[in-house]
Chains A and B, each alone.
Chain A
């Protein structure tokens, strides 16, 4: 096992640039930190579906389990951290480990019709709404 003590000085130093400070400070971009539950989620909807998106770089679809029950969505998986033999670790910012997150959607969904896609490290789950909760278009006739 390599210990951190033996690792020596980090050969990379991050450049502190004023421009970077400006971008992150002035426009209020929150740092991409791990505060809060993992993975972070974005959720939106259209008339037909709810969409849940998570950034899971390096993961394969088979490493992720998605469960849907009524209006509850559960994401489970493990991001592995492989350190090859004979290497010295200088920096480790990328998170690793098992995760488990459950999210309550605003309405029930058709669990059997849910679809998950993973592309370029971005997981998107489309969850069709139950017919009963979809907004209905009412045709209005003008009565003469």
Chain B
């Protein structure tokens, strides 16, 4: 028997503070043009100063802070959705020029443009008839 065995994961979790912020997965659209990838994410309630976008080793991470909009003790007459921070990560297969990634957050929607690296863009090869 190993006396120092760590308790099962479930027990470890139970020991943590009960009140944890809920996290949600934002819904996204993704389109591609010859020059870039455009990611659009719904982040209702998130302001620019609460948004964090990172691109590292081919992994794009989105984190949006959505502060509670009602007092904690609010008793809802109807409660169809929860409010909490948004988090999502993607592995980007395409070669992207990380220095040129640009984002815009407007009306709770993030539009992120990821320009493809030059090497990944389709190139037109001129062919001359002989």
Binding site for B on A (CB under 8 A): 7, 9-15, 17, 20, 22-24, 26-27, 29-32, 36, 40-45, 50, 53, 55-60, 81, 83-84, 86-95, 103, 106, 118, 120-122, 124
Contact = CB atoms under 8 A, between A and B. Distances in A.
Contact of B90 (A9, A13, A32, A122): A13
Interface string B10-36: 000100000010111111111111100
Contact of B22 (A9, A29, A36, A83): A29
A86 to B, nearest CB: 6
Nearest to B16: A26
Contacts of A57: 42-44, 107-109
Query: What 3 A-B pairs come out closest when comparing CB atoms?
Result: A121-B108, A57-B108, A55-B44
Contact of A58 (B75, B80, B89, B108): B108
Interface of B: 13, 20, 22-34, 37-40, 42-47, 59-60, 69-70, 74-82, 84, 87-94, 106-109
B32 A87 contact: yes
Given A17-B89, A87-B33, A44 B77 contact: yes
Contact of B42 (A15, A43, A50, A94): A94
Nearest to A57: B108
Given A57-B107, A88-B31, 11 more contacts: A15-B91, A17-B89, A31-B25, A32-B25, A44-B74, A81-B29, A88-B32, A90-B32, A94-B27, A118-B107, A122-B45
Contacts of B27: 32, 93-95
A129 B89 CA distance: 44
